[in-house]
Structures are given as C-alpha cells and as structure tokens.
Structure 1
Amino acid sequence: MPVYHIVLFKLKPGVTEDQLSTWTKDAKALVGQIPGLSKLEINKPLPSTAHRGQGYDMALVSILEKADDVKVYAQHPAHLE
C-alpha cells in the first residue's frame, strides 16, 4: 500500500520564483534516485482555498511504495542535500 508523506512549508520573506522553480525541479528529480519514491509533487495552495492555509505557502507530497521506504527516503543522501 502506498504511503503519502506530506510536508507543509512557510517560506522565508524574499524567496523568489526562480528559487522555488529550482527547488521544485531538484525535488522532483529525486524520483528515480531514491528507492521506493514513486512520485513527488510540490505546489502552492489554490487561490480559492489559500485563506484556509494557516500561513503555509507550499506543500510537498511524496508517494512511497511502502512504510519502510519512508526511512530510506529520510536518510538518503540526495534527500538530505
């Protein structure tokens, strides 16, 4: 059964769209590098629901193949970078 690892981010003031684009590209490149990581998505809240976001600016959803893969993902050098 897949495991959904969800992380919410509050960005520091001054983070640029170029920085977010680079981060998103680099994060998505982890798929195929980290065993068990089958998909990774990053995005901002929808404008229609952002008012309920409690100040979070971005969300990351990693889909892993099984629960044991979460530890592998968390400790993998590519993820730590």
Structure 2
Amino acid sequence: MAKKKYAPATAAKTADKPATLKDLLGEGTIAKLKEQAAQLKQEEEQRREEARVKAEEERKAERKRLDNDFEHLLNTSKLDWHKFK
C-alpha cells in the first residue's frame, strides 16, 4: 500500500496560528504607530538635552557665585605659602 501524504495537515497548522496584532491592524495604522513612536523618542531626547543644558548652566552660575565669595575662596585656597616665597 502507498503512504498517504498529509499536505492538508501542514496547511491546517498555519491556519491554526493565532492572529497577531500586526495581522489585525492595517498597514496605515502600523505606519502611524511607528511614526508616533519615533516622534516620542525624539521628544524624549530633546527633553534630556534641555535638562543637561539647564544643569550645566546652573553649575556655571553656582561656580561664578562661589568665585565671587571671598569666604569660599579663603576656605578652599591652600595655605602653604612657603612654595610661593
């Protein structure tokens, strides 16, 4: 007797797979979601850059304030005057 080929069984395996979200959504919707994700990433990067710039400006302002404070300069200066003789 000849062996039977079960080609319909392999087709049934692919038909039994659950539908993915990509399959359920249209191409236009997927493109919009990808575009929105890229836009959100760009906005987050911009916020991080602004926060970094703001922190750097604050450090510069604090440094300038401390450089004008005589007490701070006196406390942080080295009092070893022998090497300047």
Higher helix share: 2
Higher strand share: 1
Bucket of the pairwise TM-score, normalised by the shorter protein: under 0.3
The two structures have a TM-score, normalised by structure 2, of 0.26
